[in-house]
Structure 1
Amino acid sequence: MRRRISTGSEFERDFAYSRAVVQGEWCFVSGTTGYDYATMTMPEGAAAQAEAALATIGRTLREAGFAFEDVVRSVVYLVDPADHAAIAPALRAALGEIRPANTTVVTALIRPEMRVEIEVTALRRA
């Protein structure tokens, strides 16, 4: 059975997606930026945005019945490769002991204030 998780973000509504989809033992969390979805404000700088994105991802995983410890894959999208070192502390805080498979991509994001976007895939532990 498929279960959808939403933060109530206008992006989810406008672009027809879910923050996460749970399918069986898997949880697929969409690319998440640093927005506070209640106020639609974005912190400045890649480090603060990564922390905020990971906080949203953590809440989403919990709502779905998962935890960061269940994350098996992460993808990080950066606008500027120079921000890679700046986001490392936030990634280590959330995923350091878990060490999921990861890909980091340098690309443009859909809004100019966005510096980083993070997505994860989790598999429920037996």
Structure 2
Amino acid sequence: MTKRENFSSGSTFEKAFGYSRAVKVGETVYVSGTVGIDYATGKCDADPVVQLRQVIKNIEPALNRAGASLKDIVQITTYVTSAEVFQTIGPVLGEIFDGILPTNAALVVQFPVPDVKVEIAAVAVIGSGT
């Protein structure tokens, strides 16, 4: 039987809405949709690029706790509030994932949290990183 491990970031959203930041099953790590709220301050910067960089800062510890890293990400789903936001963050995604090149689906959505413009969900396979 494959072991399942759940990892929390301590976000109030996780507790309130009943989910984990990441779940590891075997060598695969599934990371929940993660937004760019700075957990230390509870604030979300208005700039989508700043949000994107904070999203990555929020995802990395969950991956690390599960034994993975950004280099092990094989798939991301990027949620944005508009096509313009995606055009703004696209080059930064290219910079962050240069050499990793996960698959990516981008969707335009409306978020239930004020000021959020970017959210990313990810799947990583431990040891697959280059």
TM-score category of the 2 structures, normalised to the smaller one = over 0.9
- Residue type at the aligned position of 1:45: D
Work out the percentage of aligned pairs sharing the same amino acid. Answer: 34
CA distance in 1, matches of 2:67, 2:77: 21
* 1:74 match: secondary structure: strand
Matching residue's letter, 2:5: R
- 1:44-89 Cα deviation digits (max 9, x unpaired): 1211101100111112111211011111100000001101122124
Residues of 2 paired with 1:39 and 1:15: CA distance? 20
Aligned counterpart, 1:124: 126
Quick one: which of 28, 49, 62 aligns to 2:51?
A: 49
* Structure 2: gaps spanning 5 or more residues: none
CA distance in structure 1 between the aligned counterparts of 2:18 and 2:4, rounded to whole angstroms: 16
**1:29-54 Cα deviation digits (max 9, x unpaired):** 00000011232111112111011001
Gap regions ≥5 residues in structure 1: none
Q: Distance in 2 between matches of 1:5 and 1:55?
A: 15
Q: CA deviation at 1:92?
A: 2.2
User: Among 6, 9, 21, which residue is 1:7 paired with?
Assistant: 9
Output the TM-score relative to the length of structure 2: 0.91
Which structure 1 residue ranges, 4+ long, deviate > 6 Å from structure 2? Answer: none
Distance 1:5 1:74 in 2: 18
For the pair 1:87 / 2:89, whether they are aligned, the reply is yes
1:106 paired to 2:103: no
Residue number among 26, 30, 38 corresponding to 1:36 in the alignment: 38
- For residues 92 and 42 of structure 1, the distance between their equivalents in structure 2, rounded to whole angstroms, comes to 22
Distance 2:57 2:90 in 1: 15
SS of residue matched to 1:4:
strand
Tell me the TM-score normalized by structure 1.
0.94
Letter of the 2:19 counterpart: Y
State how many pairs are aligned.
126
Matches of 1:90 and 1:124 in 2, distance apart? 24
For residues 88 and 79 of structure 1, the distance between their equivalents in structure 2, rounded to whole angstroms, comes to 13
